[in-house]
Amino acid sequence: MAVSSMPVLVINPGSTSTKVAIFDGEALAGERVIRHSPQELAALGGIAQQKDLRALHVRSFLQESGVAPKALRAVVGRGGMLRPVRSGTYAVNDRMLEDLKTPLASSHASALGALIAAEIARPLGIPAYVVDPVAVDEMDPVARLSGLPEIARRSFFHALNAKAVARDCAKLLGVPYEEARFVVAHMGGGISVSAHCKGRVIDVNDSLSGEGPLSPERSGSVPLTPLIELCFSGGFTKEEMLDKVRRGGGLLAYLGTSDLAAAERRAEEGEKLAREVIHAMAYQVSKQIGAMAAALKGRINAIVLTGGLARSERFVALIKERVDRFAPVFCYPGEQEMLAMAKGALRVLTGRETALRYE
């Protein structure tokens, strides 16, 4: 059967939106970004209670798309914070659905992707999948040691988009992804820089925990002793400190905005602090790229810059001038998560890959 006869529904829930699309093969047949007001979501309670509302919107999109549900070959949901898994396309099963209801997983809207996908797919008798969830863990054992036995370094990163752009870059270079070496910097609200070695991400900063470069909303790595002293200063609760490093750090903490474009305008108007913070963020991204280059022993096919911040030519230039001697630099602005999910399902549907089992 030709790939073009394989319609796939893709669902990607975010904190205040649900992205939904239909791909006919790799061609986009229709898409919609459904916005949810904070007030609407707050009235429902926690993220788990948002499933029915978001599922209703997805069904409405499908009905209005003109694609009959029975024509779908698969439904793909965004993979949430599952237990550590290797890269690939996973068939949604009962074990996965149960794990997506745990407190850790249900703290982020991504957990709803597979839950909604399964709810739509099962009555139709078609598979539901997730592709490269954020819990993809292929780290080398040496990369897990943190310096404290009580704390292991973790692999939580933008796996879906990082893998997708690395595959695209490998194709551009004419090298199989499974034989290539890349450093990929996904630069969004959080920034993760990953070392890709022959198809595996052998090391990456855990941006979810605040490790790595400062970003528009996250503090990044900070000196530990002053951080511990701040935690025990009596001025902040545990939740306030977690919020400070996860959602209230970086550009937002220094400039009162997490919008790089707004910060760049202020820098152009002569604001010294805005210029310094932007340069510091680019500097720290560059240092993290250097660290991942060392993880790859200096043998790199390419450095790939992606995510929302990669839309800024000025910001990309600040990074390139520090790292372009390591390897050629390629830029893939924005993210390709929707297409990457569709491609993952298609690789299974066409027999190029076998769906993995979540256990």
Helices (H) and strands (E) in the chain, counts: 13, 14
CA distance 14 to 271: 33
Cβ atoms 106, 46 nearer than 8 A: yes
Domains of the chain in sequence order: 3-137+337-357 (3.30.420.40), 159-333 (3.30.420.40)
Residue 140, helix vs strand vs coil: coil
The tens place of each residue's pLDDT in the chain, 359 residues long, gives: 344 578 999 999 987 789 999 999 999 999 999 988 878 887 888 888 999 999 999 999 999 999 999 999 999 999 888 999 999 999 999 999 999 998 878 778 889 999 999 999 999 999 999 999 988 999 999 999 999 999 999 998 899 999 999 999 999 999 999 999 999 999 998 999 999 999 999 999 998 888 999 999 999 999 999 999 999 999 999 999 999 998 899 999 999 999 999 999 999 999 999 999 999 999 999 999 999 999 999 999 999 999 999 999 999 999 999 999 999 999 999 988 999 999 999 999 999 999 999 99
Strands 145-148 and 151-152: antiparallel
Cβ atoms 191, 212 nearer than 8 A: yes
Which pTM value belongs to this model?
0.89
Strand partners, 11: 20, 77
Residue 79, helix vs strand vs coil: coil
CA distance 221 to 277: 15
With CA atoms as reference, report the closest residue to 166 among 144, 197, 131, 129.
197
Q: b/e map of 17-49 (b: 16 or more CB within 10 Å)?
A: ebbbbbbbbeeeebebebebeeeebeeeeebbe
CA distance 80 to 116: 12
Count other C-beta atoms under 10 Å from residue 243's C-beta: 13
CA distance 54 to 88: 26
Report the chain's terminal Cα–Cα distance, integer Å: 31
Residue 32, helix vs strand vs coil: strand
